[in-house]
Structure 1
């Protein structure tokens, strides 16, 4: 009887101690981590934060449904949500760097034409723009490429490789109307010039023909005000836009505004 009373009192004493005690969850987590080898608990990423479980008696420390594994072991893993964003930014920066390198190669190959003002090379993000001015490439009011300028277009075409995305060739004119037997308006003239340039580029370009798109904008997108002969000469041009990188569709939607007009005009030019 004395022994039974003593055991009962000791049990009540420890129950009261447990009832009034507060468990240090962080210390429990550290203790359980030190015993991971003994109990077969492994962690792929060391976690030093306070466990998120609602109960200390659990198979995992992160809230969620446990996934059964073929091996008799419990693994805790975390996912870095910023990794995808960092990878995307890194890829974008590399694509912009490749665009700058491509533009540098074009400037070196066309340094003579750039010096005399017949060609200009610019970059916009992942896009390389080669501007061909009228004074060296076309006769006034004509859409046929001058024979002396054809080698320049062949040189440009040879530098359009398979790493290029969409290649948009767009024709532009000034605001002086034109109407003759061949061209009804500046729309016809600008698109026909773009088609002529495209035909020359395809002779040496290694990129697939399906990546080329031809547009004619007439005088709707001037680079300068049409208030002087010098400014009008700047507006009479053919732009070759080469998109670099993997995310081609996003840039293409912003740079190409009239694909239906372009394809229709190409058909008319081929019939002629």
Structure 2
């Protein structure tokens, strides 16, 4: 009996390319790069350019007008400069950077002494553009050994409160003293006094100025965080203070 042989057909389909996955991977890398470029662009977007862009869109035919949110965040350095400018309008107020204060406390001339005493406010930018701080001298805010706000501090806090309503900053209010132990029936330690002073500042900002209480956190550190060594009277005056620390928190 004759045998029948069947020849196997060879497949005409090409073998799969083992490097095909690289095409998908390259597309994914491109998308990720685009995403991070957009994130960086948005983080450094100037608020005035942002407003102008959407104003131009609103003028185009067929584009609905967009209401620009007045809460566009000011970056830390720019907001700090705006606040310094606003405080400079107040009379009889000495405003200086903290770096100048640290230099001035070693000098004995009249200009230097005015910078570190009396109606003094100092400011400092935090590292990595994380925010900034305003430092209010004790003589501006409170009588010695007391935690009741001096009326002359009210206009200053009202000016500062105007910049707190955007909600883009978490604000730490920290009280500090010098190293002289307190002798008071009301306050058992410098830590208690410094915390009570921080509470008094926050209460005025919230109750009288309408600031959001959720923005604030309080601290009372006594003499444990001096700006300068507690040696002479002028240096002790620098260390008696309340700090308002603005941390950048756009979320």
Q: Same fold (TM over 0.5)?
A: yes
- Residue of structure 2 equivalent to 1:77: 27
Deviation at 1:88, TM superposition (A): 5.0
> Structure 1 pair 114/203, CA: closer, same or farther in 2 (3 Å)?
farther
Query: Does 2:86 match 1:109?
Result: yes
Query: Does 2:92 match 1:142?
Result: no
Match of 1:169 among 159, 167, 173: 173
Q: Using the alignment, how far apart are the partners of 1:167 and 1:98 within structure 2?
A: 15
Please give the secondary structure, in 2, of the residue aligned with 1:166: strand
Deviation at 1:121, TM superposition (A): 2.4
Deviation at 1:246, TM superposition (A): 3.1
> Structure 1 pair 60/87, CA: closer, same or farther in 2 (3 Å)?
farther
C-alpha RMSD of the superposition: 3.1
Q: Using the alignment, how far apart are the partners of 1:205 and 1:88 within structure 2?
A: 35
Q: Using the alignment, how far apart are the partners of 1:62 and 1:144 within structure 2?
A: 74
Q: TM-score if structure 1 supplies the norm length?
A: 0.59
Largest Rg, 1 or 2: 1
Please give the secondary structure, in 2, of the residue aligned with 1:77: helix
Aligned residues: 184
> Structure 1 pair 98/206, CA: closer, same or farther in 2 (3 Å)?
farther
CA contact (8 A) 2:165 2:212 kept: no
Structure 1: unaligned runs, 5 residues or longer: 1-55, 67-75, 248-272
Match of 1:216 among 220, 238, 244: 220
Please give the secondary structure, in 2, of the residue aligned with 1:106: helix
Q: Using the alignment, how far apart are the partners of 2:157 and 2:83 within structure 1?
A: 12
Deviation at 1:122, TM superposition (A): 2.1
Q: TM-score if structure 2 supplies the norm length?
A: 0.63
Q: Using the alignment, how far apart are the partners of 1:223 and 1:196 within structure 2?
A: 22
Please give the secondary structure, in 2, of the residue aligned with 1:110: helix
**Structure 1 segment 1-150 matched on structure 2, within 5 A:** 57-58=15-16, 62-63=20-21, 77-80=27-30, 81-90=32-41, 93=44, 98-111=75-88, 112=90, 113-115=93-95, 117=115, 118-124=120-126, 125-150=129-154
Deviation at 1:147, TM superposition (A): 1.1
